[in-house]
Amino acid sequence: MELGIIGLGKMGGNLSLQCVDKGIDVVGKDITERLDLEEKGVKVVTDYKTFFGNLQTPRIIYLSLPAGPLIDKVINELSPFLDEGDIIMDGGNSYYKDSQRRAKELKEKNIYFVDCGTSGGWEGARFGTCFMVGGDKKAIDVCGPILAKLAVKDGYLHCGPSGSGHFVKLVHNGILFGMLQSIGEGFELLNRSEFELNLPDIFKMYSNGSVIRGWLVELMEQGLRDLKSIEEVPAFVEDTGEVNWLVQEAINKEIPIPVITQSVIELFKSRKEPKDSYRAVAIMRHGLGGHPYGESENLANERKTSRIHKL
Protein backbone atom coordinates (compact mmCIF):
# COMPACT_ATOMS: atom_id res chain seq x y z
CA MET A 1 0.00 0.00 0.00
CA GLU A 2 1.33 3.41 -0.98
CA LEU A 3 -0.04 6.95 -0.80
CA GLY A 4 1.20 10.34 -1.90
CA ILE A 5 -0.06 13.34 0.09
CA ILE A 6 0.20 16.93 -1.11
CA GLY A 7 -0.15 19.41 1.74
CA LEU A 8 1.25 18.43 5.14
CA GLY A 9 -0.69 20.76 7.41
CA LYS A 10 -2.81 19.64 10.38
CA MET A 11 -4.81 17.13 8.35
CA GLY A 12 -2.27 15.98 5.76
CA GLY A 13 0.56 15.79 8.26
CA ASN A 14 -1.41 13.71 10.73
CA LEU A 15 -2.76 11.48 7.97
CA SER A 16 0.82 10.81 6.86
CA LEU A 17 1.73 9.75 10.40
CA GLN A 18 -1.24 7.40 10.52
CA CYS A 19 0.02 5.85 7.27
CA VAL A 20 3.35 5.16 8.93
CA ASP A 21 1.61 3.57 11.91
CA LYS A 22 -0.43 1.28 9.67
CA GLY A 23 2.30 0.16 7.30
CA ILE A 24 1.29 2.30 4.34
CA ASP A 25 4.28 3.72 2.45
CA VAL A 26 3.74 7.48 2.32
CA VAL A 27 5.40 10.28 0.38
CA GLY A 28 4.43 13.81 1.36
CA LYS A 29 4.97 17.01 -0.60
CA ASP A 30 4.95 20.38 1.07
CA ILE A 31 6.37 23.80 0.31
CA THR A 32 8.70 23.46 3.29
CA GLU A 33 10.87 20.65 4.66
CA ARG A 34 9.09 18.83 7.47
CA LEU A 35 11.87 17.29 9.54
CA ASP A 36 9.36 16.60 12.32
CA LEU A 37 7.51 14.21 9.98
CA GLU A 38 10.63 12.74 8.39
CA GLU A 39 11.94 11.79 11.84
CA LYS A 40 8.80 9.67 12.25
CA GLY A 41 9.10 7.82 8.94
CA VAL A 42 7.38 10.06 6.40
CA LYS A 43 9.25 10.61 3.14
CA VAL A 44 8.97 14.39 2.62
CA VAL A 45 9.85 16.16 -0.62
CA THR A 46 9.45 19.72 -1.88
CA ASP A 47 9.27 19.20 -5.67
CA TYR A 48 6.98 17.23 -7.96
CA LYS A 49 9.73 15.36 -9.83
CA THR A 50 11.01 13.77 -6.63
CA PHE A 51 7.46 13.24 -5.41
CA PHE A 52 6.47 11.25 -8.50
CA GLY A 53 9.80 9.46 -8.58
CA ASN A 54 9.01 7.92 -5.21
CA LEU A 55 5.55 6.61 -6.20
CA GLN A 56 4.72 3.48 -8.17
CA THR A 57 1.99 3.42 -10.81
CA PRO A 58 -0.90 3.65 -10.62
CA ARG A 59 -0.19 6.52 -8.27
CA ILE A 60 -2.71 7.43 -5.58
CA ILE A 61 -2.40 11.10 -4.62
CA TYR A 62 -4.38 12.70 -1.80
CA LEU A 63 -4.73 16.50 -1.88
CA SER A 64 -4.96 18.00 1.60
CA LEU A 65 -5.48 21.59 0.46
CA PRO A 66 -8.00 24.42 0.83
CA ALA A 67 -10.93 24.32 -1.56
CA GLY A 68 -11.02 26.69 -4.51
CA PRO A 69 -8.63 27.71 -7.30
CA LEU A 70 -5.66 26.12 -5.53
CA ILE A 71 -7.04 22.65 -6.32
CA ASP A 72 -7.13 23.42 -10.04
CA LYS A 73 -3.68 25.03 -9.86
CA VAL A 74 -2.16 21.95 -8.25
CA ILE A 75 -3.92 19.58 -10.68
CA ASN A 76 -2.42 21.58 -13.56
CA GLU A 77 1.02 21.34 -11.93
CA LEU A 78 0.60 17.58 -11.57
CA SER A 79 -0.53 17.03 -15.16
CA PRO A 80 2.91 16.70 -16.83
CA PHE A 81 3.84 13.91 -14.40
CA LEU A 82 0.59 11.90 -14.43
CA ASP A 83 0.12 8.63 -16.30
CA GLU A 84 -3.08 6.93 -17.40
CA GLY A 85 -4.81 5.26 -14.47
CA ASP A 86 -3.35 7.55 -11.80
CA ILE A 87 -5.79 8.70 -9.12
CA ILE A 88 -6.14 12.16 -7.59
CA MET A 89 -8.22 12.37 -4.42
CA ASP A 90 -9.44 15.75 -3.15
CA GLY A 91 -9.68 15.41 0.64
CA GLY A 92 -10.86 18.97 1.27
CA ASN A 93 -14.24 20.68 1.34
CA SER A 94 -14.63 21.44 -2.35
CA TYR A 95 -18.06 22.20 -3.78
CA TYR A 96 -19.40 18.99 -5.26
CA LYS A 97 -20.12 20.48 -8.70
CA ASP A 98 -16.50 21.66 -8.89
CA SER A 99 -15.54 18.04 -8.19
CA GLN A 100 -17.84 16.77 -10.95
CA ARG A 101 -16.22 19.17 -13.40
CA ARG A 102 -12.70 18.13 -12.36
CA ALA A 103 -13.57 14.44 -12.69
CA LYS A 104 -14.92 15.02 -16.21
CA GLU A 105 -11.85 17.00 -17.29
CA LEU A 106 -9.41 14.42 -15.94
CA LYS A 107 -11.37 11.48 -17.34
CA GLU A 108 -10.65 12.85 -20.83
CA LYS A 109 -6.97 12.25 -20.00
CA ASN A 110 -7.69 8.79 -18.52
CA ILE A 111 -6.87 10.10 -15.04
CA TYR A 112 -9.25 9.36 -12.18
CA PHE A 113 -10.51 12.06 -9.81
CA VAL A 114 -12.05 10.99 -6.50
CA ASP A 115 -13.88 13.46 -4.25
CA CYS A 116 -13.02 12.37 -0.74
CA GLY A 117 -14.96 14.14 1.99
CA THR A 118 -12.89 13.78 5.17
CA SER A 119 -14.22 14.26 8.68
CA GLY A 120 -12.86 13.78 12.18
CA GLY A 121 -10.51 16.72 12.62
CA TRP A 122 -6.78 16.42 13.11
CA GLU A 123 -7.28 13.74 15.76
CA GLY A 124 -9.20 11.60 13.28
CA ALA A 125 -6.53 12.12 10.64
CA ARG A 126 -3.95 10.92 13.16
CA PHE A 127 -5.70 7.90 14.62
CA GLY A 128 -8.62 6.94 12.36
CA THR A 129 -10.90 9.19 10.34
CA CYS A 130 -14.15 9.15 8.36
CA PHE A 131 -14.15 9.17 4.55
CA MET A 132 -17.18 9.77 2.32
CA VAL A 133 -16.07 9.13 -1.24
CA GLY A 134 -17.42 9.71 -4.75
CA GLY A 135 -15.96 8.53 -8.01
CA ASP A 136 -15.57 5.85 -10.67
CA LYS A 137 -15.72 2.32 -9.24
CA LYS A 138 -12.49 1.37 -11.01
CA ALA A 139 -10.67 4.09 -9.08
CA ILE A 140 -12.38 3.19 -5.83
CA ASP A 141 -11.29 -0.44 -6.21
CA VAL A 142 -7.69 0.80 -6.20
CA CYS A 143 -7.74 3.54 -3.53
CA GLY A 144 -10.57 2.16 -1.38
CA PRO A 145 -8.48 -0.39 0.57
CA ILE A 146 -6.09 2.38 1.68
CA LEU A 147 -8.93 4.66 2.75
CA ALA A 148 -10.62 1.81 4.61
CA LYS A 149 -7.39 1.13 6.50
CA LEU A 150 -7.07 4.81 7.50
CA ALA A 151 -10.72 5.06 8.58
CA VAL A 152 -12.33 4.03 11.84
CA LYS A 153 -14.57 0.95 11.79
CA ASP A 154 -17.52 1.63 9.45
CA GLY A 155 -16.08 5.10 8.78
CA TYR A 156 -15.45 4.60 5.05
CA LEU A 157 -18.15 4.65 2.36
CA HIS A 158 -18.19 4.85 -1.43
CA CYS A 159 -21.25 7.07 -1.71
CA GLY A 160 -21.69 6.96 -5.48
CA PRO A 161 -20.48 8.69 -8.66
CA SER A 162 -18.29 11.78 -8.90
CA GLY A 163 -19.46 14.58 -6.64
CA SER A 164 -21.42 12.38 -4.25
CA GLY A 165 -18.65 12.23 -1.65
CA HIS A 166 -18.31 15.99 -1.39
CA PHE A 167 -22.10 16.39 -1.45
CA VAL A 168 -22.47 14.00 1.49
CA LYS A 169 -19.71 15.92 3.31
CA LEU A 170 -21.51 19.20 2.58
CA VAL A 171 -24.70 17.90 4.20
CA HIS A 172 -22.56 16.59 7.09
CA ASN A 173 -21.22 20.11 7.62
CA GLY A 174 -24.75 21.52 7.67
CA ILE A 175 -25.80 19.00 10.31
CA LEU A 176 -22.69 19.90 12.29
CA PHE A 177 -23.59 23.60 12.25
CA GLY A 178 -27.07 22.87 13.62
CA MET A 179 -25.65 20.69 16.40
CA LEU A 180 -23.01 23.26 17.36
CA GLN A 181 -25.62 26.01 17.59
CA SER A 182 -27.93 23.87 19.71
CA ILE A 183 -25.18 22.96 22.18
CA GLY A 184 -24.07 26.59 22.30
CA GLU A 185 -27.59 27.76 23.15
CA GLY A 186 -27.84 25.10 25.84
CA PHE A 187 -24.56 26.29 27.30
CA GLU A 188 -25.85 29.87 27.51
CA LEU A 189 -29.01 28.74 29.28
CA LEU A 190 -26.94 26.84 31.84
CA ASN A 191 -24.44 29.67 32.26
CA ARG A 192 -27.13 32.30 32.89
CA SER A 193 -29.33 30.23 35.18
CA GLU A 194 -30.13 31.11 38.79
CA PHE A 195 -27.98 28.18 39.95
CA GLU A 196 -24.24 28.01 40.56
CA LEU A 197 -23.59 25.15 38.20
CA ASN A 198 -20.32 23.34 37.52
CA LEU A 199 -20.50 23.50 33.74
CA PRO A 200 -17.53 21.23 32.89
CA ASP A 201 -18.99 18.54 35.16
CA ILE A 202 -22.40 18.94 33.53
CA PHE A 203 -20.98 18.42 30.06
CA LYS A 204 -18.97 15.44 31.32
CA MET A 205 -22.18 13.96 32.71
CA TYR A 206 -23.98 14.67 29.41
CA SER A 207 -21.20 12.70 27.69
CA ASN A 208 -21.87 9.56 29.69
CA GLY A 209 -25.12 7.75 29.06
CA SER A 210 -27.33 10.68 28.08
CA VAL A 211 -29.07 10.79 24.72
CA ILE A 212 -27.01 13.84 23.69
CA ARG A 213 -23.66 12.21 24.41
CA GLY A 214 -21.06 12.62 21.70
CA TRP A 215 -17.77 14.16 20.64
CA LEU A 216 -19.06 17.75 20.46
CA VAL A 217 -20.29 17.56 24.05
CA GLU A 218 -16.91 16.13 25.06
CA LEU A 219 -15.14 19.00 23.28
CA MET A 220 -17.35 21.45 25.16
CA GLU A 221 -16.34 19.92 28.47
CA GLN A 222 -12.64 19.91 27.62
CA GLY A 223 -12.74 23.47 26.32
CA LEU A 224 -14.39 24.70 29.51
CA ARG A 225 -11.79 22.93 31.66
CA ASP A 226 -8.99 24.59 29.70
CA LEU A 227 -10.42 28.08 30.27
CA LYS A 228 -10.39 30.33 33.31
CA SER A 229 -13.45 32.16 32.00
CA ILE A 230 -15.73 31.93 28.97
CA GLU A 231 -15.01 35.63 28.46
CA GLU A 232 -11.52 34.67 27.25
CA VAL A 233 -13.04 33.37 24.02
CA PRO A 234 -13.93 35.84 21.24
CA ALA A 235 -17.59 35.54 20.25
CA PHE A 236 -16.71 36.25 16.59
CA VAL A 237 -17.01 32.90 14.73
CA GLU A 238 -15.34 32.50 11.33
CA ASP A 239 -16.15 29.80 8.79
CA THR A 240 -15.18 28.93 5.23
CA GLY A 241 -18.66 29.24 3.76
CA GLU A 242 -19.54 25.67 2.76
CA VAL A 243 -22.84 25.58 4.63
CA ASN A 244 -23.88 28.78 2.82
CA TRP A 245 -23.74 26.68 -0.37
CA LEU A 246 -26.02 24.08 1.21
CA VAL A 247 -28.59 26.73 2.16
CA GLN A 248 -28.53 28.14 -1.38
CA GLU A 249 -28.95 24.65 -2.79
CA ALA A 250 -31.93 24.00 -0.50
CA ILE A 251 -33.55 27.27 -1.60
CA ASN A 252 -33.08 26.36 -5.28
CA LYS A 253 -34.68 22.96 -4.67
CA GLU A 254 -37.34 24.41 -2.33
CA ILE A 255 -36.31 22.07 0.49
CA PRO A 256 -36.89 23.64 3.92
CA ILE A 257 -33.87 23.38 6.23
CA PRO A 258 -34.73 25.93 8.95
CA VAL A 259 -32.30 24.68 11.63
CA ILE A 260 -29.27 24.62 9.34
CA THR A 261 -30.25 27.96 7.79
CA GLN A 262 -30.60 29.59 11.19
CA SER A 263 -27.24 28.21 12.28
CA VAL A 264 -25.64 30.10 9.37
CA ILE A 265 -27.53 33.29 10.31
CA GLU A 266 -26.25 32.91 13.88
CA LEU A 267 -22.68 32.88 12.58
CA PHE A 268 -23.36 36.18 10.84
CA LYS A 269 -24.79 37.56 14.08
CA SER A 270 -21.73 36.40 16.05
CA ARG A 271 -19.68 38.90 14.07
CA LYS A 272 -21.83 41.78 15.31
CA GLU A 273 -23.31 40.75 18.64
CA PRO A 274 -21.18 38.91 21.28
CA LYS A 275 -23.03 36.14 23.13
CA ASP A 276 -21.93 33.20 25.25
CA SER A 277 -23.62 30.77 22.84
CA TYR A 278 -21.29 31.98 20.08
CA ARG A 279 -18.29 31.60 22.40
CA ALA A 280 -19.38 28.01 23.04
CA VAL A 281 -19.58 27.34 19.29
CA ALA A 282 -16.08 28.80 18.91
CA ILE A 283 -14.77 26.48 21.64
CA MET A 284 -16.15 23.38 19.92
CA ARG A 285 -14.96 24.45 16.47
CA HIS A 286 -11.49 25.07 17.86
CA GLY A 287 -11.50 21.64 19.46
CA LEU A 288 -12.75 19.67 16.46
CA GLY A 289 -10.62 21.22 13.74
CA GLY A 290 -8.23 23.74 15.28
CA HIS A 291 -10.31 26.60 13.87
CA PRO A 292 -8.88 29.93 15.06
CA TYR A 293 -10.56 32.06 17.67
CA GLY A 294 -11.76 35.46 16.51
CA GLU A 295 -11.39 37.08 13.10
CA SER A 296 -9.26 35.45 10.40
CA GLU A 297 -8.47 37.17 7.12
CA ASN A 298 -7.55 33.83 5.52
CA LEU A 299 -10.87 32.18 6.40
CA ALA A 300 -12.85 35.26 5.36
CA ASN A 301 -11.11 35.17 1.97
CA GLU A 302 -11.69 31.41 1.63
CA ARG A 303 -15.42 32.04 2.13
CA LYS A 304 -15.38 34.06 -1.09
CA THR A 305 -13.11 31.86 -3.21
CA SER A 306 -13.58 28.20 -2.20
CA ARG A 307 -16.52 27.52 -4.52
CA ILE A 308 -15.81 28.08 -8.20
CA HIS A 309 -19.08 26.77 -9.73
CA LYS A 310 -21.81 29.42 -9.48
CA LEU A 311 -25.32 28.38 -8.50
Per residue of the chain (311 residues), what is the pLDDT tens digit? 999 999 999 999 999 999 999 999 999 999 988 989 999 999 999 999 999 999 999 999 999 999 999 999 999 999 999 999 999 999 999 999 999 999 999 999 999 999 999 999 999 999 999 999 999 999 999 999 999 999 999 999 999 999 999 999 999 999 999 999 999 999 999 999 999 999 999 999 999 999 999 999 999 999 999 998 999 999 999 999 999 999 999 999 999 999 999 999 999 999 999 999 999 999 999 999 888 999 999 999 989 899 999 86
Checking 227-231 for CB contacts under 8 A at 24+ apart, the result is 227/283, 230/191, 230/276, 230/279, 230/280, 231/279
Please indicate, yes or no, whether residues 131 and 178 belong to a single structural domain of this protein.
Answer: no
Domain boundary residue, one of 132, 161, 190: 161
Does some domain include residue 150? yes
Residues with Cβ within 8 Å of residue 73, at least 6 apart in sequence: none
Q: Which domain holds residue 68?
A: 2-161
Please indicate, yes or no, whether residues 9 and 142 belong to a single structural domain of this protein.
Answer: yes
Please indicate, yes or no, whether residues 272 and 133 belong to a single structural domain of this protein.
Answer: no
Q: Is 128 left (phi over 0), alpha (psi -120 to 50) or beta?
A: left
CB 191 within 8 A of CB 230: yes
- Give me the number of domains the chain comprises: 2
Distance CA 105, CA 208 (A): 49
Which CATH number do you get for residue 27?
A: 3.40.50.720
Please indicate, yes or no, whether residues 144 and 178 belong to a single structural domain of this protein.
Answer: no
pLDDT of residue 212: 97
Please indicate, yes or no, whether residues 21 and 152 belong to a single structural domain of this protein.
Answer: yes
Please indicate, yes or no, whether residues 172 and 157 belong to a single structural domain of this protein.
Answer: no
Distance CA 17, CA 132 (A): 21
Please indicate, yes or no, whether residues 98 and 189 belong to a single structural domain of this protein.
Answer: no
Does some domain include residue 83? yes
Please indicate, yes or no, whether residues 299 and 155 belong to a single structural domain of this protein.
Answer: no
Domain boundary residue, one of 161, 189, 207: 161
Q: Which of 179, 176, 218 is nearest to 200 (CA)?
A: 218
Q: How many angstroms separate the Cα of 12 from the Cα of each of 5, 34, 64, 123, 130?
A: 7, 12, 5, 11, 14
Does some domain include residue 311? no
Does some domain include residue 60? yes
Please indicate, yes or no, whether residues 8 and 123 belong to a single structural domain of this protein.
Answer: yes
Domain boundary residue, one of 112, 130, 161: 161
Does some domain include residue 230? yes
Look up the pTM and report it.
Answer: 0.94
CB 51 within 8 A of CB 4: yes
Does some domain include residue 39? yes
Please indicate, yes or no, whether residues 80 and 140 belong to a single structural domain of this protein.
Answer: yes
Which CATH number do you get for residue 184?
A: 1.10.1040.10
